[in-house]
Structure 1
Amino acid sequence: VAMQDATAQMALLQFMQAGRPQVAVPSTVHCDHLITAKLGADIDLPHANTESKEVFDFLASVSNKYGIGFWKPGAGIIHQVVLENYAFPGGMMIGTDSHTVNAGGLGMVAIGVGGADACDVMAGLPWELKFPKLIGVKLTGKLNGWTSAKDVILKVAGILTVKGGTGAIVEYFGDGAINLSCTGKGTICNMGAEIGATTSTFGYDESMERYLRATNRADVADAANAIKEHLTGDDAVYADPEKYFDQVIEINLDELEPYLNGPFTPDLATPISQMKEVAAANGWPLKVEWGLIGSCTNSSYEDLSRAASIAKQAIDKGLAIKAEFGINPGSEQVRYTADRDGLLGTFEDLNATIFTNACGPCIGMWDRTGAEKAEKNTIVHSFNRNFAKRADGNPNTYAFVTSPEIVAAIAIAGDLGF
């Protein structure tokens, strides 16, 4: 069971009444929601520690008493921390956050629930749900050029809409799925929440093994390898998917191009080649005010490295960034490694603000200067949701969801259509 600081409060208050001396299953609390992004991590994190001290102290105390793992403010975004430390192939978990589904990138069945369900499971009671339908997404080919794993789920969202996955588990398979990185798989599963899916998952493969070993979990990788034939679908299923899935979608990654989804809904999918024309036709502001990289969807080391490569090319060519630029690393491990390898320095050379390892603007915890004026404007981000007022409270902010590298490119250009 994984809980974030906003939803863990009620879940733990309920658990305290259960009369159990310890939690019945491994459980963790992650302080990532109650940290406002404004001036940068060095100022924002101490402010949050003061502003929400009572909540953080309560969560730490209860966690310590009942044997719950506690990740303090600044440690990272719950779902990135879970992927790096707890997720494992073939496991099942629930979490008090809709994007718990991110752990499907490591072959888990991970489902977002309410605090009452989490309390029941921590107390040792069974958890039940209506048996889901199965949607199969067959991926062929290989990502190339500017296309990323984010574009796979942006394309799927355009096909299924925000309701199309309701009551279903989505399974990705095929040669294209095997070719994706583990964190890329996590990105795809993460935004399954935006199509209403119960969860999304991938079968165990070598990319997951590499990620487990890279995050110091060789023992888990060895255990998974010993039973790997049971951690993915049978050959017969993938050979004739229509026979086993309620719905099958096929996407050729060789032909997939980058997408920008929005504004005001994550399923309005526009290929980047058409964006300038579509934006002009709809009256969407082409001038981009902010580019934001982060959230549980796209804050891994891989995500930051791809965006940093674009930033480095701009710096080398003497280009000045035309939009404001903000980065939320997904965890302290990501932040430390990105800083060590010069990625954060590259972003800072482009005048980016490095925010706390936390959710920040993605969940509306963004004290954006001028938002109160409610002016019509455009932002691009690598988050998951872009409903009206979601990021900054301004109903006239046109927010577009895309990959980290496209965010970087558009922030540099300052124009939705380049």
Structure 2
Amino acid sequence: SHTTMINGLGIVGWGVGGIEAEAGMLGQPVYFLTPDVVGVHLSGELSQGSTATDLVLRITEMLRKANVVGKFVEFFGDGAAALNATDRATIANMAPEYGATMGFFGVDDKTLDYFAATGRPQEQIDTIRSYYTAQGMFGIPRDGDVDYSTVIDLDLGTINPAVAGPKRPQDRIELSNLDDRFKELFSLSVADGGYGKSAEDLEQRFVVTMCETSDGFVSGGGDQSQRSSPVVQSGNDSTADTNVRSEVEMMNNRPTPNRVDPDGADCPPAQTNIGNGDVLIAAITSCTNTSNPSVMIAAGIVAKKAAERGMKVPAYVKTSLAPGSRVVTEYLEKAGLQKYLNEIGFNLVGYGCTTCIGNSGPLDPAIEEEIVENDIIAASVLSGNRNFEARVHQNIKANFLMSPPLVVAYALAGTVLKDVNLDPIGLDKDGNEVYLKDIWASLDEVREMLQTAYDPETYKRLYTEFAEQNPLWNDVRSTTGTLYEWDANSTYIQEPPFFEDFSMESGRFSDFHGARALAIFGDSVTTDHI
């Protein structure tokens, strides 16, 4: 689904399904109709306080309504030309969410600036410029340059901070309306997209006795070797600069007989209380946003300002940081921001897909038990691009997509039942109320710190020495040859029943009698639901 990110760099391409990929491997062509091309004319510029994430959520909402399924979308105009390559890639990445085959930006100087900043050789950059110029394709088209099937206009100056959810990525909610919208959905019928609960139940809270991990960690289950166990360095961090609880859990969240359960000796009990609208998972995750330095730097600045005020994330909030690349860790550390993210709980848990595809790991068992027993409508906040029901966590029913700095802010608030524009999101170490505007990252602050994000040598080093950074991968036994040596005893990779007794000759066909449909589904039913 993330293939379309390349469209932000002027590369035409999109993902295919498994059957299409298999057919291609066997030399079969892939057929598709010549699509309509929808032009999205971007004008103006983003206002103070808005991010690329806010922009892509607005575009997703707008293009879903425009029904661009099966179509190409090309972004053009002065607003598109002003966006940097990472903002364009953020928009292109979510093409599957707004339904298009791809969301395309042409190649221009901003594209080449990105290649230079990420360590590509100058000779390659010059070749790209020469090729696209010779083809008459260099530059972002302006209004009137191209005859599109249809044109949609969007003024970037109208983009406001927003989130999307709680069940679909196209359901955008202005940040100032999230509190009221959650209350409305709480008692709205399930058929109308709500939760069908009584409005009187909204304020209920339930006491939970959970694991206190500030001085210990959750001991692992499953087949964990002592050699790979994290070593506690101080407090809740290990020598690998990650949260010990998360580190053990990530190692053990595999197909093994046991789950990760608290060890009484290392995990003294602590009391808290949870209720509807509480944020139980806050995750900076997914390549959609973690590949964009501006929003990652903004998240670090919010964490820094919060940590300096002595603010704490409530005990019931499970926090995590899982960027898509080691480069993110490098520039956050170089900017001096990673230590503040660690301080408020956003420790590095790994690289790649985690919470955005449901790999958040379990919540504290006592919290999960309380959710199920009392049918609590709890929330997750994440910087991913999909939030279908049961995708993030099977027991968390309200999932909101938002920018990384907003993920940090809502983790501190601990609930979506606040208007974070008007209400305090927490208290400082002296008991004073702290508002979002007190810790928000300004555009100037982000631009200043962005200077540390782009270091061509960092990209060259991390991607040139990639093999040396993955000792576990290097230790995997592999063989060479024209055919893969399948393990006949493997329980993971097995011959599909479809191929049993398979023959190149057509067999005898027989009629089907009494066949019936198993189920008939409406719109917006995903594989997560099924």
TM over 0.5: yes
Partner-residue secondary structure (3-state), 2:288: coil
Segments of 4+ moved more than 6 angstroms: none
Paired residues in the alignment total 318
Deviation at 1:244, TM superposition (A): 2.1
- 2:390 counterpart SS class: coil
Root-mean-square deviation (CA, aligned residues, Å) is: 2.4
C-alpha spacing 1:234/1:407, structure 2 compared with 1 (3 Å): closer
| Paired residues for 1:33-72 under 5 Å | none
Matched with 2:92 is 189
Q: Within 5 A, what are the aligned runs for 1:367-406?
A: 367-369=361-363, 370=365, 371=368, 373-374=371-372, 375-394=376-395, 396-406=396-406
For the pair 1:166 / 2:69, whether they are aligned, the reply is yes
For 1:222 and 1:271, the matched residues in 2 are separated by 43
Partner of 2:150: 247
1:309: which partner in 2? 301
Contact 2:284–2:290 at 8 Å: present in 1 too?
yes
Structure 1 regions of 5+ residues with no counterpart? 1-97
CA distance in 2, matches of 1:317, 1:110: 46
In 1: Cα distance, 2:330 partner to 2:142 partner: 40
Measure how far apart 1:156 and its partner are.
Answer: 1.8
Q: Which whole-Å CA distance do the structure 2 matches of 1:122 and 1:149 have between them?
A: 37
Answer yes or no: is the 8 Å Cα contact 2:43–2:154 preserved in 1: yes
Quick check: 1:324 aligned with 2:318?
yes
1:227 to 116, 131, 156: 131
1:353 paired residue among 338, 347, 358:
347
Question: Does residue 200 of structure 2 align to residue 209 of structure 1?
Answer: no
Matched, 1:102 2:102: no
More helix by share: 1
Give 5+ residue unaligned stretches, structure 2.
187-194, 196-275, 421-530
Q: Secondary structure of 2:13's partner? A: strand
Deviation for aligned residue 1:160: 2.7
Asked if 1:293 is matched to 2:284, the reply is yes
Offset at residue 267 of structure 1 (A): 0.9
For the 8 Å contact 2:14–2:101, the answer to whether it is kept is yes
Whether the aligned pair in 2 keeps the contact of 1:105 and 1:186 (CA below 8 Å) is yes
- Partner residue in 2 for 1:413: 413
Structure with bigger RCO (C-alpha 8 Å, 6+ apart):
1
What is the CA–CA distance in structure 2 between the aligned matches of 1:157 and 1:193, rounded to whole Å? 9
Q: Is the 8 A contact 1:324 1:352 kept in 2?
A: no
Q: Percent identity?
A: 31
Q: For the pair shown, which has the larger CA radius of gyration, 1 or 2?
A: 2
Amino acid at match of 1:287: D
Match of 1:118, as an amino acid? A
Q: TM-score, normalised by structure 1?
A: 0.70
Contact 2:52 2:295 in 1 (8 A): no
CA 1:347–1:247: 2 relative to 1, 3 Å? same
- 2:512 aligns to what? none
Between the aligned partners of 2:73 and 2:130, the Cα distance in structure 1 is: 25
Q: 1: distance between equivalents of 2:328 and 2:34?
A: 36
Q: 8 Å contact 2:51–2:295 — kept in the other structure?
A: no
The equivalent residue for 1:63 is none
Number of the residue aligned with 2:31: 128
User: How many Å separate the matches in 2 of 1:109 and 1:162?
Assistant: 24
